[in-house]
């Protein structure tokens, strides 16, 4: 069983009806600054083809310190402030560690 110190983050954000493009644009703007963070290994945005209001981030960070750096970044705080009013529900964010697979 393989283990990793890398932190994998899954985040789900869902827009209110009619606000999908605003959320999409705001989330796309997060990619460049996040990928420049020390310890950011991967930062991928996905959209649900069956539900255009639902967006999924899959993120991999070197360690907990790198994850904490991202979670405390000013641009993430600005994103939360900007998109909070247009979300259908609170974001679901889960941190995990890989135990097997690739």
- Look up the CATH number of the domain holding residue 20: 3.30.70.100
Read off the pTM. 0.90
What is the number of other CB atoms lying within 10 angstroms of the CB of residue 41? 14
Answer whether residue 101 is part of any domain: no
Answer whether residue 49 is part of any domain: yes
Q: What separation in angstroms does the CA of 7 have from each of 17, 22, 47, 69, 71?
A: 32, 28, 22, 12, 12
Query: pLDDT for 5-31, tens place per residue?
Result: 899 999 999 999 999 999 999 999 999
Predicted local distance difference test score (pLDDT) of residue 35: 96
User: What residues make up the domain containing 55?
Assistant: 9-96
DSSP state of 102: -
Answer whether residue 17 is part of any domain: yes
Position 100 confidence tier, pLDDT thresholds 50, 70, 90: confident
List the structure tokens of 65: 């310190």
Answer whether residue 102 is part of any domain: no
Answer whether residue 4 is part of any domain: no
Helix H or strand E encompassing 6: none
Per the structure, the count of domains in the chain is 1
């Amino acid at each position: 069983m393989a283990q990793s110190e890398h932190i994998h983050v899954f985040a789900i954000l869902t827009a209110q009806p009619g606000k999908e493009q605003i959320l999409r644009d705001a989330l796309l703007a997060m990619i460049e600054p996040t990928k420049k963070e020390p310890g950011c290994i991967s930062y991928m945005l996905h959209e649900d083809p069956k539900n255009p209001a639902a967006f999924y981030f899959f993120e991999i960070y070197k360690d907990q310190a790198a994850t904490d750096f991202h979670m405390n970044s000013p641009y993430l705080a600005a994103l939360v402030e900007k998109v909070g009013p247009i979300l259908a529900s609170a974001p679901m964010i889960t941190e995990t560690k890989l135990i097997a697979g690739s």
